[in-house]
Amino acid sequence: MTQPDWIAGEWAQGHLRLWQMAADDTVLAQMAPAPGRDAAEALARLLPELAPGVPVLISGAADLPFPAVPCKPPVMARARDGAGGLHLLPGVAQARPADILEGEETRVAGFLALNPRFDGVVCLPGAQSRWVHVSAGEIVSFRSFLTGTLGRLLAAPEALGPALGTGWDEAAFLEAVDQAMGRPAGFAGDLSAILAESRLHDLSPAVALARLWGLLIGMELAAAKPYWLGQSVAILDEGETAARYRAALAAQGVPAVLADGARMALEGLKRARREAKP
């Protein structure tokens, strides 16, 4: 097997993705180690297996402080002490309202590398979904929402677990988006109603799941309206969540383009590697 020239990596939501890269930035191999809670630990386990002396560039795993908006997505990585050729790309901070990007800035950089004239809003669903206003190649401002974490927590057996299933009902989803956008305060009551309808009226588990996500995304869209209203919107994600955000935005008359989030991360890491080289 060809020896890699460098290794690109992204730490996101407890998952480390690694790409072994050739000198011409083609991908030689991809690795997705077991998920964990700590980036440093996952890297310490993996680094000895990677080719010694090969530089490693990772996004989403650096410690504060981060550069503050407005700024271009960072390209200058910091070497981690005592970790050989390991370099960590910093995130981006915002003082007011207080907010942090950790890896998403590199996905935005990758999207801008492929779409250099893009001016608008990038939506990055996740444990915390991020809405990032981009103009003239800079991150101007952004806003995070704990939506993904709420959705995952609410699937617990002591929450909505007993009512939820694996199917999907698009009409129920869009109806709940509307409901939450119009009456966001009803959120906790609408969650209880899912449980009660499931027990009293045999609400289908697919409808219950779609309704939960419609409430979550509808509430987020209501608050993020200053970001998406009248803007070009790009959604960066690699899962089914992107399609849900796109459908919810389309129902508000806002078309959005989709781009693969993991691929954007890799493009952002390649850009940082190119631009940081002397």
Binding residues (CB under 8 A) for a copy of itself: these are 14, 64, 93-95, 97-100, 127-128, 143-147, 149-150, 153-154, 156, 158-159, 180-181, 183-189, 191-193, 195-197, 199-201, 216, 219-220, 222-224
Coil, strand or helix: which one is 194?
helix
CA distance 90 to 76: 8
CA distance 57 to 50: 13
Minimum distance, C-beta of residue 157 to a copy of itself, in the bound complex (Å): 8
Minimum distance, C-beta of residue 138 to a copy of itself, in the bound complex (Å): 20
CA distance 227 to 236: 15
For residue 267, the one-letter residue type is E
Minimum distance, C-beta of residue 172 to a copy of itself, in the bound complex (Å): 15
Integer CA distances (angstroms), 169 to 154, 180, 198, 244, in order = 18, 17, 15, 11
Query: 117 near 137, Cβ under 8 Å?
Result: no
CA distance 13 to 119: 27
CA distance 100 to 1: 39
Nearer to a copy of itself, 127 or 206 (CB): 127
Minimum distance, C-beta of residue 255 to a copy of itself, in the bound complex (Å): 22
Nearer to a copy of itself, 6 or 145 (CB): 145
**Residues whose CB falls within 8 Å of the CB of residue 258, separated by 6 or more in sequence, listed in order:** 234, 235, 236, 237, 242, 243, 246
Nearer to a copy of itself, 226 or 239 (CB): 226
Nearer to a copy of itself, 20 or 129 (CB): 129
Residue whose token pair is 């990055």 = 124
Minimum distance, C-beta of residue 259 to a copy of itself, in the bound complex (Å): 23
**Residues whose CB falls within 8 Å of the CB of residue 134, separated by 6 or more in sequence, listed in order:** 108, 112, 118, 119, 120, 121, 122, 140
Nearer to a copy of itself, 1 or 95 (CB): 95
Measured over all CA atoms, what is the biggest interatomic distance in the chain, rounded to whole angstroms?
A: 67
Query: 79 near 239, Cβ under 8 Å?
Result: no
Nearer to a copy of itself, 20 or 94 (CB): 94
Minimum distance, C-beta of residue 185 to a copy of itself, in the bound complex (Å): 4
Minimum distance, C-beta of residue 132 to a copy of itself, in the bound complex (Å): 13
Nearer to a copy of itself, 13 or 115 (CB): 13
Nearer to a copy of itself, 184 or 205 (CB): 184
Minimum distance, C-beta of residue 237 to a copy of itself, in the bound complex (Å): 17
CA distance 154 to 145: 15
